[in-house]
Amino acid sequence: MNADPHVGRVLQVHTRYRQGGGEDQVVEAERQLLEAAGVSVQQVIFHNADLREGRSAAADVRLAASAIWSRAAVRRVRHAIRAQQPDVMHVHNTFAAASPSVFTAADGLPVVHTLHNYRMVCPVATVFRDGHACTDCVGRAVPWPGVLHACVHGSRAQSAVAAATVTLHRAVGTFRRHVGTYVALTAFQRGLMIEGGLPADRIRVISNFLEPDPGAGERPRSGILYVGRLAEEKGIGVLLRASVLAGVQVRVAGTGPLKSAVEQAAATGDIVHEGSLEPSAVIGELRTATALVLPSIWFEGYPLAVVEAYATGTPVIASRIGSLAEIVQDGVTGLLAEPHDADGLADRMRWATEHPTEMRQMGLSARRHYETHLRGANHLDALMQAYRAAGARGSADRDDVELVAKPADDQVREAPSEDRQG
């Protein structure tokens, strides 16, 4: 794999959450991919674990202010730019320790921003509330519903900080002037971001990837596997109900807020809880599973578990919602069930275990999709195109297109139509 000769140095800027996750893995994987192609990568990493709340009211105010605009973060990034002289700055997560103010440190340097989540259009970044997908804030100049419903950690104060962060930077033109290219993970996400006000001509779709190739393996397959966080939005409640209805063994790997519910189900024999697994162990589990199940009830990004499943030749049973309805081709690389529908999910899991030949064919199709679209070479080529696009966009052109939130009705808006996916 060879990089673009015009992009020899990349500065990555990223904020790690207090609990590590997929975003951190993607940043590290991209670093390794670029360096293997001969690109020099320097990183400026912020840590949300460094933030300390509750010391005093004054300290909390200062913390909130820095989450909106951090002069210290801007100084740190500017220092890195002066020291490293990168050809492009690639920004990943900025919330909360870095803040979007880091974009202003670029001072004309081409900037690419990967949209790992939906924070640009939703204060809590998940477009999920009260057990269902929620787009109430999408398209609003001020995302006040997220504050009203205290979407961030159940706190109106914290929700107000998150809402003010995007609102302020829209108003002062931070995104319009300093971000040349956005990277969305799926076409569905791109569409939602455009609906929320991001300029369509700046958003490219670049899927997550997996490198090196783990291989499919030839061992016999049995059972259904879930890998991921044990949380409401992941559809764990639906999965637990479906496992009883299907009479199919479901192996669950992961931890999270609903861990106790999974452990209770394991005690009855409907679920096998395997706890947290190392990446190599996850690959081993996927190689022996009939299918990976993703019963999410929110708008996923591009789950790394799907990439790993496809790489190991494992079809995916997923909810027909958001990006998952785009990523999983029903009857080709897996099966789709309606979100929240335990009966429908149970039917798909039962069918999968009763039709091993058809599932093997779907696994082969999933593997071909990985080889064609989700390898490191594909991702590197797409990244370089994004970097070139950011570099080609001059400051005058950036000033031509404004990031303006479209007006929304006062009525509660429904979730985006699925017909714009694909």
Tell me the per-residue pLDDT of 191-205, one tens digit each, with 9 for 90 and over.
Answer: 999 999 999 999 999
Query: CA 58, CA 2: separation in Å to the nearest integer?
Result: 51
Whether 345 and 295 have beta carbons less than 8 Å apart is answered as yes
Whether 95 and 119 have beta carbons less than 8 Å apart is answered as yes
Whether 225 and 286 have beta carbons less than 8 Å apart is answered as yes
**Residues 288-299 pLDDT 10s:** 999 999 999 999
Q: Report CA-CA distances (Å) from 408 to 141, 222, 351.
A: 9, 48, 42
DSSP 232: G
Mean pLDDT value across residues 237-262:
95
Task: Name the nearest CA neighbour of 393 among 106, 124, 11, 38.
Answer: 106
Query: What are the b/e assignments for 381-419, b being 16+ CB within 10 Å?
Result: bbbbebbbbbbebeeeebeeeebebeebeeeebeebeee
Contacts of 419 (CB under 8 A, 6+ apart): none
Backbone angles phi, psi at 90, to 5 degrees: -110, 110
Q: What is the pLDDT of residue 120?
A: 95
**Which residue matches tokens 């104060």?**
157
Q: Within 10 A of 350 (CB to CB), how many other CB atoms are there?
A: 16
Which of left, alpha, beta for 355 (phi over 0: left; psi -120 to 50: alpha)?
A: beta
- Burial class from Cβ neighbours inside 10 Å (0-12, 13-18, 19+) for residue 218 reads exposed
Q: What is the pLDDT of residue 269?
A: 84
Backbone angles phi, psi at 15, to 5 degrees: -110, 125
Q: What is the pLDDT of residue 407?
A: 39
Q: What is the Cα 305 distance to its own chain's centre? A: 12
Query: CA 65, CA 44: separation in Å to the nearest integer?
Result: 21
Percent of the chain with pLDDT over 90: 82
Whether 187 and 205 have beta carbons less than 8 Å apart is answered as yes
Mean pLDDT value across residues 64-81:
94
Mean pLDDT value across residues 223-244:
96
**Residues 250-285 pLDDT 10s:** 999 999 999 999 999 999 888 999 999 999 999 999
- Sorting pLDDT into bands at 50, 70 and 90, what band is 2? low
Task: Name the nearest CA neighbour of 358 among 326, 329, 333.
Answer: 333
**Which residue matches tokens 């044990």?**
230
Mean pLDDT value across residues 56-72:
80
The pair of structure tokens assigned to 320 is: 């027909």
Task: Name the nearest CA neighbour of 98 among 151, 51, 52, 154.
Answer: 51
- Sorting pLDDT into bands at 50, 70 and 90, what band is 404? very low
Query: CA 416, CA 145: separation in Å to the nearest integer?
Result: 17
- β-partners of residue 271 are 250
**Which residue matches tokens 């590197």?**
380
Q: What is the pLDDT of residue 197?
A: 95
- DSSP E strands: which ranges in 137-270? 181-184, 203-205, 224-227, 250-253
- β-partners of residue 16 are 47
Mean pLDDT value across residues 89-109:
94
**Residues 299-322 pLDDT 10s:** 999 999 999 999 999 999 999 999
Query: HSE-up of 386 (CA within 13 Å, CB side)?
Result: 27
**Residues 319-367 pLDDT 10s:** 999 999 999 999 999 999 999 999 999 999 999 999 999 999 999 999 9
Q: What is the pLDDT of residue 398?
A: 43
**Residues 128-177 pLDDT 10s:** 999 999 999 999 999 999 999 999 999 999 999 999 999 999 999 999 99
Across the beta sheet with 291-294, the strand order is 271-275, 250-253, 224-227, 291-294, 316-319, 334-337
Q: What is the pLDDT of residue 3?
A: 63
pLDDT at 410 over 50: no
Mean pLDDT of the chain: 90
**Residues 22-55 pLDDT 10s:** 899 999 999 999 999 999 999 999 998 666 655 5
Q: Higher model confidence: residue 231 or residue 96?
A: 231
Query: CA 412, CA 125: separation in Å to the nearest integer?
Result: 18
Q: What is the pLDDT of residue 110?
A: 97
List, in sequence order, the alpha helices (H) in 69-143: 71-84
Q: What is the pLDDT of residue 17?
A: 82
pLDDT at 112 over 60: yes
